[in-house]
Amino acid sequence: MTSKFLLVAQREYLTRVRKKAFLVLTLAVPLLIAAFGFFMVKIISSDDDKADVIDVRDDSGQHLAGRLVSTPQLTFRVVPGSLATAKTSFQKAEHAGLLYLPTGLDVAKPAGVQFFGKGNISLKKQQAVETALNKTFSEIKMQQSGLSQQQLDRLRSEVDLQTISLGDDGKEADSNALATSGVSYALALLIYFFIFVYGVQIMRGVGEEKSSRIMEVMLSSVKPFDLMMGKIFGIAAVGLTQFLLWGLLSFGATSLIGNLTGNEAKPTTTSTAAPSAAAVSTAADPVAGTASAGEKFDQQLENQSNQVNPANRFKFLDALAGLPIGQILFGFLVYFLGGYLLYGALFGAVGAAVDDQTDTQQFMFPITMPLILSYIVSISVILRNPDGPVAFWMSMIPFTSPIAMVVRLPFGVPAWQLALSITLLILGFVGTVWVAARIYRVGVLMYGKKVTYKELGKWMFYKG
């Protein structure tokens, strides 16, 4: 029995691995991932290097335009003349917007401020301008209350929050929310992709062999259960081989791309239009033009420029060392195989039950619904609260735990929860294999009959 099961698995594995499509896809995917990453970094870096220029027409009479502080992403440029003249000049220039500060503007209750743009204004740009205005108005109100610029500088604080993971044994490790969430998302996507792609391969493979009547010959020497499990494990080995090669090739390709982009990236530490705004501010308001304000402004520019430097984006990889790598790898392998075996058995049963591949849709929906639901909930809910009740219960249910639990793994999962979830997954796999085997042994030799859910229920309790 065991030897026949292994022969079927070996046949499924070698048949698929030797195909040209397998070799082409295995080599092409890492190259596409690396090219896509390189392309995205180039786009992001080129977008960050270009600061949006905002024209400012100030009719408030309070020299507010000169108080607006430029950043590497947003540069304020004071324009002379009337509002109509400013609009005409703005329409001719390739600037990002025109900000109008009306006459009689009350800093305590600012109203009537207008922001003109070419076409619909993006939310990011609107929020950036609002933030700059809010900071400026707040500083003016604090100065009007009697605080000097030096006092304001001392009151400002920018907290560089260092996140640390504290283990049960008291050991401390660096933590990075971006890296942790990124790993969770990647693991969930891999399992979701693997189960869908290779589960459908099982279903189509069984369906093709059934329609060609090859199955009748195979069942003369191999039991239906051995045949089904051989197909499932053989295709699982194909998926593991392909993912292993993808991982190795992708790591090498992305490392090369990271070095190239890191060497090419050049931080921008100054803004061309910023000195003019600072100069206007000095002339308009002597209190705002102190030396400490200039030093503070330069430091702001340097800090923000370093943040947008694409080379620094690769530093989040250092935070991966603080993740529970052992638990992640172990859990990923278990749920990777457990989830595939659970769903693969059901996909195989569907392939054996129907004669025409077009009839599989009615049976695929109830099978894939928990998988789709777990992926959506994991990305939208569990990533935000990995220790909440939704995360706990979805990581315990066998049909949702393969995705829900791997999303939680990078955040750290108690050992008892992981053990309970794996136990329930194994029980769920055994149960689905029993159901799938009962359907498979009858459906694989059933031809010319329209299958319904009621009919599938009867097949499960046929004797023999």
CATH of residue 80's domain is: 3.40.190.10
Give pLDDT, residue 4: 76
Are residue 352 and residue 454 in the same domain, yes or no? yes
Domain end call among 277, 308, 339: 308
Are residue 421 and residue 449 in the same domain, yes or no? yes
End-to-end CA distance of the chain: 18
Domain end call among 308, 331, 365: 308
Are residue 104 and residue 211 in the same domain, yes or no? no
Alpha helices in 145-223 (DSSP H): 149-155, 177-211, 214-218
Are residue 365 and residue 434 in the same domain, yes or no? yes
Q: Where in the sequence is the domain holding 219, given as residue range(s)?
A: 2-40+177-262+317-459
Give pLDDT, residue 278: 39
Are residue 122 and residue 101 in the same domain, yes or no? yes
Residue of 234, 456, 434 lying closest to 345 (CA atoms): 434
Domain annotation covers residue 171: no
Domain annotation covers residue 241: yes
Are residue 230 and residue 135 in the same domain, yes or no? no
Give pLDDT, residue 424: 94
Are residue 341 and residue 193 in the same domain, yes or no? yes
Query: Residue 372's Cα: distance from chain center in Å?
Result: 16
Point out the residues of the chain with pLDDT beneath 50: 264-314, 316
Are residue 405 and residue 341 in the same domain, yes or no? yes
Give pLDDT, residue 301: 39
Query: Residue 290's Cα: distance from chain center in Å?
Result: 45
Give pLDDT, residue 425: 92
Domain annotation covers residue 45: no
Q: Return the structure tokens found at 140.
A: 């003016």
Are residue 239 and residue 349 in the same domain, yes or no? yes
- How many folded domains does the chain comprise? 2
Domain annotation covers residue 164: no
How far apart are alpha carbons 423 and 401 in whole angstroms? 11
Q: β-pairing, 172-174 with 164-166?
A: antiparallel
**Per-residue model confidence as pLDDT tens digits over 171-226:** 655 556 667 777 888 888 888 888 888 888 888 877 777 777 676 677 777 777 77
Domain annotation covers residue 143: yes
Q: Return the structure tokens found at 347.
A: 């996909």
Give pLDDT, residue 156: 66
Domain annotation covers residue 162: no
Give pLDDT, residue 397: 92
Are residue 69 and residue 131 in the same domain, yes or no? yes
Domain annotation covers residue 181: yes
Are residue 337 and residue 416 in the same domain, yes or no? yes
Give pLDDT, residue 394: 92
82-92 exposure pattern, b = at least 16 Cβ within 10 A, e = fewer: ebeebbebbee
Domain annotation covers residue 169: no
Are residue 369 and residue 252 in the same domain, yes or no? yes
Give pLDDT, residue 193: 84
How far apart are alpha carbons 229 and 232 in whole angstroms? 5
